[in-house]
Amino acid sequence: MSLSAAAGIVRLARFRADGLAAFDASPAGLLNALAPWIAFAVVGFVLAMIGGAARDAVGALLASAVALLAPPVIAQALARWFGRAGQWLRYAVAITWCQWIMPPLLLVAMMASTLLLALDLPQRLAEILVAVAVLGYAVALQVFVARAALAITLLRAVVFSVAVQVGTFALVIGPLLLGEAWRSGG
C-alpha cells in the first residue's frame, strides 16, 4: 500500500472527503486496491490445498473471488442506474482500499469489549454493544464513501450501500446454501 493510499484511508476513515484524492481512480488503481485481497485468498487456497482440503480450498477461493468482485460489479450497475457511471471507478477504488480500516477497527473492538467486561458488564451485553458500534461505523463509512465519491444524496447513498451489501451477501451465501441443500438431499 502506498503512503498516498494509506493517507486516503485514514482521511476517509475520519469521514473526510478529501481522502478520495489520494487514490488512483483508474482500472490499474482498482487492480492495485484488489491485489492484496486477492493475494490473501490465493495464499489461503494454497495452504488449504497443502493441508489436503482441496474441495474446501476451491470453494473458499471461489467464495473469496465473488466477495471481492461482486461489490464493484454491483456498484457499477447501481452507479449507472443513478446516472453516476463516470464516478463509479473513484468509488470502487476508494471503498476497496477502505476495507483496510477493518482489521485495526476489530482490534479496537476487542480491546473495548475487554474494557467493558472489566467494568462488570455482562459478556453478552458487551458483545452486542461492540458489534453494534463496529457495524454502525462500517455502514456509516460505506454510506459516506458512496455519497462523497459518487456525489449523490444521503438517501441514495444509503440505498446504494445497502444494495451493494445485500447483493454481495446473496451472491456469496446463496451458492453455499444451495450447496448445503443439495448435499443434504433437500
Judging by beta carbons within 10 Å of its beta carbon (0-12, 13-18, 19+), is residue 161 exposed, middle or buried? buried
Confidence of residue 36 (pLDDT cuts 50, 70, 90): very high
- Mean pLDDT, residues 80-95: 97
What pLDDT, on a 0 to 100 scale, did the predictor assign at position 186?
A: 57
What pLDDT, on a 0 to 100 scale, did the predictor assign at position 1?
A: 58
Give the number of domains in the chain: 1
C-alpha cell read off for 156: 441514495
Whether 61 has a pLDDT exceeding 60, the answer reads yes
Integer Cα distance of 92 and 68 in angstroms = 11
Dump pLDDT digits (tens) for 123-180.
899 889 999 999 999 999 999 999 999 999 999 999 999 999 999 999 999 887 887 7
Contact at 8 Å (CB) between 156 and 149? Answer: no
Integer Cα distance of 165 and 157 in angstroms = 12
- Mean pLDDT, residues 60-87: 95
The most confident of 50-54, 167-171, 182-186, by mean pLDDT? 167-171
* Phi, psi of 171, rounded to the nearest 5 degrees: -70, -30
What pLDDT, on a 0 to 100 scale, did the predictor assign at position 185?
A: 73
High-pLDDT (> 70) share of the chain, %: 98
Q: What is the rounded end-to-end Cα distance, in angstroms, of the chain?
A: 46
High-pLDDT (> 90) share of the chain, %: 75
Helix (H, G, I), strand (E, B) or coil at 23: coil
Helix (H) or strand (E) holding 29: helix 27-50
C-alpha cell read off for 8: 486516503
User: What is the DSSP code (8-state) at residue 26?
Assistant: S
Integer Cα distance of 157 and 139 in angstroms = 11
What pLDDT, on a 0 to 100 scale, did the predictor assign at position 2?
A: 56
Pick the closest to residue 89 from 37, 36, 34 (CA basis): 34
Contact at 8 Å (CB) between 150 and 82? Answer: yes
The single-letter code of the amino acid at 153 is T
What pLDDT, on a 0 to 100 scale, did the predictor assign at position 3?
A: 61
Contact at 8 Å (CB) between 138 and 102? Answer: yes
What pLDDT, on a 0 to 100 scale, did the predictor assign at position 179?
A: 75
Q: What separation in angstroms does the CA of 91 have from each of 71, 97, 111, 167?
A: 11, 10, 31, 17
- Domain of residue 180 covers 3-184
